[in-house]
Amino acid sequence: MTEAMDVPAAGSQTVSNGTGLPTGRSGTGSAVRRELARYLIVGGLAFVCDTFALFSLTQFLKVNYLVSAPLGFVGGTIVNYTLCRTWVFERRRIVSTPAEMTIFTLIGVVGLGANELILWFFQSKLKIYYMIGKAVSGVVVFGWNFGARKLALFR
């Protein structure tokens, strides 16, 4: 069974209540804004990795866009997880790295499903270039990933 704890993330500072004891809360408005700003940077970098793979595999290697998207997702998820764990979020709820990465990836897989659906809808139904769909899905998936990961893993 995975033990859930309120553990400071690598390089983070513990919030104190003036007694020198941690409050166990990093959900203050400024902490959430700081994490959101950092997640924008990290999510943007992961999005660039993911999108570069999607575009390169599809345009140059002629891999179907619905196959290229999950391949790009793997690279983006690795970048995202590593930086979220070490820099973005100030506290971790789960001590077990394999369990944490599993939940992180499962949240990402839901985002990948939304990404695939949006790409398919834009390309197949609306007849709009798949990269336009990727831009739309990037916004949708960003919101989902940040919210779900913050609530499930990094409170």
Q: Domain boundaries in the chain? A: 28-152
Give pLDDT, residue 22: 41
Position 79 pLDDT exceeds 80: yes
Question: What does the alpha-carbon distance between residue 32 and residue 53 come to, in Å, rounded to a whole number?
Answer: 30
pTM of the entire predicted model: 0.78
Give pLDDT, residue 18: 42
- pLDDT tens digit sequence for 55-77: 999 999 999 999 999 999 999 99
Q: What is the mean pLDDT of residues 83-112?
A: 93
- pLDDT tens digit sequence for 17-66: 443 434 445 457 899 999 999 999 999 999 999 999 999 999 999 999 99
Q: Specify the DSSP element, H or E, that contains 49.
A: helix 29-59
The answer to whether 42 and 84 have CB atoms below 8 angstroms apart is yes
The answer to whether 88 and 46 have CB atoms below 8 angstroms apart is no
